[in-house]
Amino acid sequence: MPGVRGPSDYSQEPPRHPCLKINAKEPFNAEPPRSALISSYVTPVDFFYKRNHGPIPVVDDIERYCVSISGLVENPKELFMKDIRMLPKYNVTATLQCAGNRRTAMSNTRKVKGVGWDVSAIGNAVWGGAKLADVLELVGISMLTSTTQSGGKHVEFVSIDKCKEENGGPYKASIPLSQATNPDADVLLAYEMNGETLNRDHGYPLRVIVPGVIGARSVKWLDSISVIAEECQGFFMQKDYKMFPPSVDWDNINWSTRRAQMDFPVQSVICSLEDVSAIKPGKIKVSGYAASGGGRGIERVDVSVDGGKTWMEASRYQKTGIPYITDDISSDKWAWVLFEVTVDVMHSTEIVAKAVDIAANVQPEKVQDIWNLRGILNTSWHRVQVLVGHSNL
């Protein structure tokens, strides 16, 4: 790729914030403390989780960098950054979540394969860039197209980075053409994050943002876009990020029996308390985040202070001072919802949170029921232990 290259080693990694918990050093995978997530509705770039599959690409000459758009299209093109910036710019507030968020808790039940994540492989940002639907119009594909004249049904995004799972080749993923050409799906070619130019960790100079879908489809360091007849055949679409039942193990797995995961399910996490917290008896504030995929808003967050026997409803909010109303124009449909409730805790107990989205989807109670060998989509009730009145207070 002219102007941008994917290194084969880790000697040119960017600096990172020292508060991040490093789950893997090479490739670099890290998450912020959970308490940082609820300090603001929009996650600061430094505290946004870092998910990588290889060394971070290096930009040598941004003027030479371009993205090729080809495949089953009438009018293949190469677009430079100046061409993309000439298209209408949109700002979309969207939450990205790694499909492996909360994997460590699932692995504690029964070992799984993958990077160990606590509860912070998630973040909410304002992404700025061109809509993919506008970009595809430049190569002759109209809005709301599900199949091109030459049989294209999927849009594949190929990165610049090199990853071992692709035998040193680039990371790649795809989404349906019908989603890519729907302006209401808000799929972006983003060059900004929180009002600033993307940094290297988050995809500089250009990345894809697919709102409401697991982070694995929001390809960073974009090299090319190809309109293809079948779903992307890359490793991360065909042999990873698929949801299997608890009965499947590495001896009997058949990857072709499951679809590639797209939307993420309804999720909520308590961020004001650690897995085990020592507190004084009395009132405490329980707060955290809730999110659901596909643009589904959060209808309710329930909190229990007795391990799930009885429940109370938490208040929900996004932007300060604006009431959160699901499906209202004032709300960000692709973004998480923060919640809080003040509770009385007089003795040691288990505090639990569960969310319900606008389709009445609810989190499963037990992680054992959704255990899968890759440890993805742990959306079970989130539980924390509080120890009251201990001598270390």
Q: Closest Cα to residue 314, out of 31, 38, 34?
A: 38
User: How far is it, in rounded angstroms, from Cα 381 to Cα 122?
Assistant: 17
User: How far is it, in rounded angstroms, from Cα 282 to Cα 347?
Assistant: 9
End-to-end CA distance of the chain: 57
User: How far is it, in rounded angstroms, from Cα 84 to Cα 364?
Assistant: 42
Find out whether 302 and 356 touch, Cβ atoms under 8 Å.
Answer: yes
Each residue's pLDDT, cut to its tens digit, for the chain (393 residues) gives 789 999 999 999 999 999 999 999 999 999 999 999 999 999 999 999 999 999 999 999 999 999 999 999 999 999 999 999 999 999 999 999 999 999 999 999 999 999 999 999 999 999 999 999 999 999 999 999 999 999 999 999 999 999 999 999 999 999 999 999 999 999 999 999 999 999 999 999 999 999 999 999 999 999 999 999 999 999 999 999 999 999 999 999 999 999 999 999 999 999 999 999 999 999 999 999 999 999 999 999 999 999 999 999 999 999 988 889 998 999 999 999 999 999 999 999 999 999 999 999 999 999 999 999 999 999 999 999 999 985 444
Q: What is the dihedral of CA 100, 106, 111, 115, to 10 degrees?
A: 20
User: How far is it, in rounded angstroms, from Cα 89 to Cα 225?
Assistant: 19
Cis upstream peptide for 18 (omega within 30°): no
Q: What is the dihedral of CA 99, 104, 110, 112, to 10 degrees?
A: 50
User: How far is it, in rounded angstroms, from Cα 369 to Cα 360?
Assistant: 19
Q: Give 285's strand partners.
A: 342
| pTM for this predicted structure | 0.97
